[in-house]
Structures are given as C-alpha cells and as structure tokens.
Structure 1
C-alpha cells in the first residue's frame, strides 16, 4: 500500500490516466462507507472506492498471483478531500482487505511521530550539513534504546540511573569506573 499524489499516472484499459481523473470517473455506487480501524473517537469511517488495474503480461506472467489496485479515501464530511493509494495485493483480496491495510498505516505513522517527538526531531528542519545524517541516526538509535529499555523493565519498574545505583557508596577514583563486582545489577 503506497499513498500517492493526485497527479500519479496509472495505466488502465482506456490508456494512461492521472489517478484523480480515474477516480472522478467512478460512479456514485462505487463508493462504500468502510472503517479502516478504530481511532481515539471510535471507528474511522470514510468513503472508499477501489478498482483493479489490468494485468501487465511481461510483469505479471500468465497466471498472476498478485494484482495492482487503485484505492481512494474520501472524507464523509468534506467529500472534496480525497487521498489516493496504489496497492499490490494477492489475488482474491477484497476492497475491505485493502481498507484495513490502509488503516494500519496510521499506527506506523504514529510510531514514527512518537520517535521523532522523543528524540527531539519533531521540529527539526533538514539541513544538509556533514553531521546531519549522524545526528538523525544517533537520535533514532537513542529512541530504539529507550523503547527496548522500557520493554525490558516492564510497566512497574522504574529506571535507576547509574548515580542512583551508587548512592551511599564511596565514589570511584576520578577517571575510573566502579568494578563490576561492586556495581548493582
């Protein structure tokens, strides 16, 4: 499932079309009201239209196992707001299957947004300076570490900083770490 702009070109039986033109030709009964998953306020209902694209012989072979689809999501309250998708799904997939998969993209996008927020990249503007890639990579690595630490400690345990673990003990000599035998686990 891939979100595409309305200018995306699509090959159909009638030729090459822009995806928004192809969807605008759909009859009114092509639109179905389906939920793409539960949101904070209940089911996320939208109007959906879908169509299978023609088989391309040199790409799909004689007996294709997958088909290409065009999918459009229209807001119920604002029908002029339409999002477009291209999908490549196993033969036998239904429009409801495609809608469910399109809805799962929200969870992935929310995960990326949470990662950006926790690592300080939510208001970060891309700059092409030499250390930019290192900075982003380290920030995402920090997020992965925090997520793994949260899973490892479970919901009831609190994170103990190394300083909190050493409270009440004599401080190590400057430049030296405490020996593993004296370090709490």
Structure 2
C-alpha cells in the first residue's frame, strides 16, 4: 500500500520491492500470486469504508464504466484485441468494469470485475496457464456491472441511483434488475433507442426529440442547467419527455454551442423526486468515474501491474482501489473545511494579491502520505512545495474562470 501511494513513476512488483528495501521482488509477487487472502472481501471493506464516509450526502450515485490496460502478447488473463477506452481505439489489452460511488462532496472507485473473453474461458488448458479459477464464467460487461451491484445490494451499500453509458443503457436485463430492486437510473442510450410515447407506438429517441422538442414553439421546454464540474460550472440545455410508463423518461442534453445531443433513458422509482433537475444531477455524477480512472492510473498505478495471472491482476486492482479510497475520502473531508474559492465576477477583473490555496487534492494528500511515512526526507522542503503548488493552482483556477467569463461575453 505504501508503494502504491509513493512517488514511484511506475508501480509494479519490481519497483515496489526496491522501494521498500527488499533484495528481490519475491515478496510482492507472492502477495499477488500465492498468498492466501480474500480479495473479494477486501473489495467489500473498501466499498463499505467509502459508503460510510460519503453516505450522508444529499445525492448518491453509482457510476458504471469500464477502463483498460494495454498489454502485449496473449499471456495475460483477459487480454484480446478489443476497443480500449484508454487508447481510444481497438488495441490489445484487458478491460475491467468499475463502479464509482459518486456524491456532490466526493467520489471513489469501490468495485471492479475483469472482463474475460469467452474464448479464453472455453479453452481448459489456457485457463490453467492464465490462472483463471473454475468459478469464473463468461459475463458480458453489463452482467459484470450487475454482479457488482448485487454485491452492493447484499451488504446494503447500493446507492439510490445508478448512471452509466450506452454499454449499460442498452442492457435491458440490467435495467430490469435495477427496477426490480427499486433503484433509479439515468443511462446513456443511442439515438436509435426506442421509447413508447403513446400506447403501442414506439419511436426512436432522435425522432422523439425532433417531433416533440424541436422548433421555436418548443423552445420553452428546454432548461439551461449548470452543474459543477472539475473545471467549474458545466452548462447545457436539458429537456425531458414522458413515456407511457409513469416512471420512465427520455432525458436529452444539448450542448449550448454546438447543439450536439446526448440521450438518456431514465427510471424514477417511487419515493424519489420526480423532477428534471434530479435527473440532470444524476446524469452529471457519471462524469467523476473518469476522474477516478485518471487518479488511479496517474497516481496509484491502477494500470501499472506487470502480472499475468487472473488473481494477481485483480488483487493489484483491489489494492489500488484501497489506496485511492484513503486519499479520495481524505480529500472529500478536507474540502468541507476549506474556505470558499476566490473567483472573478467580471471579465475585466484583476486578480487580488493573495488568492489563497485550493483545497487539498487527492494527489497532494498522496504526497503528504509519502512525506510522513518516509521519515528520512526533509519535511520542510516538501511542505514548501505543497503550499507552493496549492497557491499556484488557486491562481490558475482564477484565470481559468476569468477566461471563461470573457469567452461567454463574446458569444
């Protein structure tokens, strides 16, 4: 764990072993490959820790998404040529389905399931070579997401809302599973997704938008809603259409500049607020899962492992989730005690002499952890850099907001 939270540029068995003072990587490799410990139970501990710390938030969303790790050859469990979001193209690698527990006050990755291609599971000899247990059966990405949610339902950590992209939005069995358990969802769907706007008559999502929401006469049906993102406020035009089901809606997002449309199929269970803004807030809490991938990979080595076997690969992921959760929860708690940021209010405003510090970030907390655990390092030097970075980032944030104000004025 200390190795994953260290400042090592690459975090694998060799580098971590050298970092902690071992003469060979045998101990770190044994931890991932042969040691007897239940990684699924550890994943449950991480999940309950995050939910306990963030569970009092006004809005709680489980965000589903997958992320990958590029690999060479065919000797790693789960590896095949497939679309890799991390590469933005079809590449050789392993995809893993994740769930992020996201709230307005903070978020962290709490679950992971490795996608194993059906052809690997069908080959008995190859399964042995890749260390894939007999209990692992073929599951699609949406089915892996359902398995994650089933674990959360079992230990009562599932949030009231689930959000996901088209991979999960078009999975009818996953949507039915959520509805059967009284869980609301806001799922991205394609323009060809069909809804029933009147009994017995189904139309495509883009046709529904053109028929019911386009033109000057329907302009008032769109609402511009602003939701806070990692780089400030994100403003889009939003509209929704009712279906023949009183609890299902089509939510549409439109980019204010380009007019680009995004469609979401939504289910509002009984007892949840039946408002447009509720669905908008849920939809926007799908974005932090990408930030979780970024933090996990850049700062904790989520995709740095050089292991080949199924169990070792999953164990590395689980330990990374634990390290990330500690820092993410600490950052969320620090945010509640941080002063309000100083931001410009006009495009021509000049910055004050002192813009203060940004709140402690996940990356900064990881650096501070390294500082207090590696006692031979000079603390004064590193504390100086911590303050310098936060002050510099506060100034950069101020100018970023002023630039946005000027751009909005021009448009």
TM-score after normalising by structure 2: 0.31
Q: What is the CA–CA distance in structure 2 between the aligned matches of 1:18 and 1:128, rounded to whole Å?
A: 44
2:202 is aligned to 16
1:133 Cα offset (Å): 2.5
Alpha-carbon distance change, 116 to 69 in structure 1, aligned in 2, over 3 angstroms: farther
Higher strand share: 1
Contact 1:71 1:86 in 2 (8 A): yes
Correspondence for 2:373 among 150, 154, 161: 161
Higher helix share: 2
1:50 Cα offset (Å): 0.5
Alpha-carbon distance change, 33 to 116 in structure 1, aligned in 2, over 3 angstroms: farther
1:51 Cα offset (Å): 0.8
Q: Does 1:25 align with 2:25?
A: no
1:152 Cα offset (Å): 9.1
1:75 Cα offset (Å): 0.7
1:20 Cα offset (Å): 2.3
Q: Does 1:110 align with 2:291?
A: yes
1:41 Cα offset (Å): 6.2
Larger-gyration structure (1/2):
1
Correspondence for 1:83 among 255, 258, 262: 262
1:85 Cα offset (Å): 0.8
4+ residue runs of structure 1 moved beyond 6 angstroms? Answer: 149-155
Secondary structure of 1:25's aligned partner: helix
Secondary structure of 1:78's aligned partner: coil
Contact 2:223 2:239 in 1 (8 A): no
2:313 is aligned to 132
> Matches of residues 142-161 of structure 1 in structure 2 within 5 Å?
142-147=323-328, 158-159=368-369, 160-161=372-373
Which runs of 5 or more residues in structure 1 are unaligned? 56-63, 166-185
Secondary structure of 1:105's aligned partner: coil
TM-score after normalising by structure 1: 0.61
Correspondence for 2:248 among 42, 60, 68: 68
The number of residue pairs the alignment matches comes to 151
